């Protein structure tokens, strides 16, 4: 568990795409985001107070979250001084980088000297079993995608929030770094050895009360030439009773793979159902979530959602633009 509240570290970034972790945490856990720490050259602003580590500690902050997702997931040498200062001031540090904080000599020495914890959330801290395939009690919804980075986390969080607002017993189960920072716990399934992904997912969503819903954050896509393996293990391990398809209306090909066209929505639904029914014969789709940000006109965006609903026979929403109430209606109706 990562102790809240947080100080969000933005480094010296000037590209908003590179602070998507910090942006996601600030959006979904605003009550736990006390301030931001920006280095010289940072032109981005989350609208939070700029705090030094010492000021943050005085305001009750417990963890500095590295909100930067840089190329290669490395610790920029320029970060070492402010990160060490945070440890000395009394903050833990959490990061979802590929390079481990604990493998950095300067930071690990400072953490030991000051009794602080370095959270490398991409690195599993316990071994996982292989998947058992045993049917578990409770109910599960999994978000799946036509591609990577199409809004599966946002859809999962929006559905969880809508269900909780209705008094439904539901929990968000994080499977990626940003989701873990938001939830405070979870498993980065793309860092799990492939043989154990389904077993790790079973542990992430264990037996629960019959009316309890786990909303499992999806990763990757069955149609992605590089990351389909992660998705398949997640589908089998989550044993979803319900699925929600996520899609970016601005895409025609897999991002970064121009020779791989986005599959038609109905084909995607059929493929996911075939995979899911290996471990849950009753798996079904209850809706689709779309990123409509590529459509500026409000009426045109809603018309696109209406066309998708007609094509799929499912309630189709944009979690940001329209909310997800129709999907929760279908899930609980």
User: Strand pairing partners for 145?
Assistant: 246
Who has greater pLDDT, 154 or 185? 154
Kindly report, residue by residue over 201-255, the tens digit of the pLDDT.
999 999 999 999 999 999 999 999 999 999 999 999 999 999 999 999 999 999 9
**302 and 162 together in one domain:** yes
State the Cα–Cα distance between residues 173 and 75, nearest whole angstrom.
27
Kindly state whether residues 198 and 315 are assigned to the same domain: yes
DSSP letters of 154-196? Answer: HHHHHHHHHHHHTT--EEEE--SHHHHHHHS----GGGS-GGG
The verdict on residue 294 lying in a domain is: yes
Bridge partners for 293 per DSSP:
none
Closest C-alpha to 44, from 61, 69, 63: 69
Quick one: DSSP state of residue 222? T
Q: At what angle do helices 152-165 and 325-332 cross, to 10 degrees?
A: 70
Q: Is 247 within the bounds of a domain? A: yes
**Cβ proximity of 315 and 330 under 8 Å:** yes
217-228 confidence digits (pLDDT tens): 999 999 999 999
- Residues 257, 111 within the same domain: no
Residue 72 has a pLDDT of 79
The domain boundary residue, chosen from 92, 120, 148:
120
Q: Is residue 132 part of a domain?
A: no
Instruction: Give the range of the structural domain holding residue 53, as residue numbers without chain letter.
Output: 6-120
174 pLDDT above the threshold of 80:
yes
- Per residue in 45-65, pLDDT (tens digit) is 999 999 999 999 999 999 999
Specify the number of domains making up the chain: 2
Are both 171 and 84 inside the same structural domain?
no
Domain CATH for 68: 3.40.50.720
Give just the sign of the alpha carbon dihedral 291, 292, 298, 299. Answer: negative
**Same domain (yes/no): 271, 222:** yes
pLDDT > 90 in the chain, percent: 92
The answer to whether residue 128 sits within a structural domain is no
Over residues 303-332, the pLDDT tens digits come to 999 999 999 999 999 999 999 999 999 999
d(CA 218, CA 243) in angstroms, rounded, equals 10
Does any domain span residue 106?
yes
Residue 285: name the closest of 168, 152, 162, 143 by CA: 143
Q: Pull the structure tokens for residue 18.
A: 């590179």
Q: Can you list the positions of beta strands (E) in 57-166?
A: 63-66, 92-95, 118-120, 139-145
Q: What is the DSSP letter of 50?
A: B
What pairs with residue 244 in β-bridges? 143, 287
Pick from 120, 147, 165: which residue ends a domain? 120
Residue 81 sits in the same domain as residue 194: no
Do residues 84 and 113 make contact, with C-beta atoms less than 8 angstroms apart? no
229 and 107, same structural domain?
no
Q: Give the torsion sign (CA, 147, 149, 155, 156).
A: positive
Query: Do 164 and 292 fall into the same domain?
Result: yes
Question: Would you say residue 1 lies in a domain?
Answer: no
CATH number of domain containing 290: 3.40.50.300
Answer whether residue 157 is part of any domain. yes
């Amino acid at each position: 568990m990562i102790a809240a509240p947080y100080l969000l570290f933005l480094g010296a970034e000037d590209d908003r795409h590179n602070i998507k972790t910090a942006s996601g945490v600030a959006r979904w856990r605003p009550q736990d985001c006390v301030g931001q720490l920006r280095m010289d050259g940072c032109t981005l602003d989350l609208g939070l107070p700029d705090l030094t580590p010492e000021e943050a500690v005085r305001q009750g902050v417990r963890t500095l979250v590295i909100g930067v997702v840089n190329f290669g997931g490395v610790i920029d040498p320029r970060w070492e001084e402010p990160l060490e200062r945070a440890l000395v001031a009394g903050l833990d540090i959490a990061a979802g980088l590929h390079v481990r904080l604990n493998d950095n000599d300067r930071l690990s020495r400072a953490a030991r000297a000051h009794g602080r914890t370095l959270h490398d959330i991409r690195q599993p801290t316990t071994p996982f079993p292989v998947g058992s395939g045993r049917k578990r009690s409770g109910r599960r919804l999994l978000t799946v995608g036509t591609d990577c980075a199409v809004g599966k986390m946002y859809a999962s969080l929006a559905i969880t929030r809508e269900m909780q607002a209705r008094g439904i017993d539901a929990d968000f189960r994080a499977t990626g770094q940003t989701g873990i920072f938001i939830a405070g716990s979870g498993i980065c399934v793309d860092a799990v050895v492939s043989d154990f992904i389904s077993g790790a997912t079973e542990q992430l969503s264990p037996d629960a009360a019959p009316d309890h819903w786990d909303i499992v954050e999806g990763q990757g896509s069955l149609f992605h030439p590089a990351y389909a393996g992660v998705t398949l293990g997640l589908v089998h391990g989550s044993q979803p009773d319900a699925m929600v398809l996520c899609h970016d209306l601005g895409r025609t090909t897999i991002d970064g793979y121009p020779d791989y066209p986005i599959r038609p929505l109905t084909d995607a639904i059929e493929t996911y159902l075939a995979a899911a029914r290996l471990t849950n014969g009753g798996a079904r789709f209850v809706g689709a979530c779309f990123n409509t940000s590529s459509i500026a006109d409000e009426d045109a965006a809603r018309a696109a959602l209406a066309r998708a609903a007609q094509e799929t026979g499912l309630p189709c929403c944009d979690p940001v633009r329209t909310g997800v109430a129709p999907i929760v209606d279908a899930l609980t109706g």
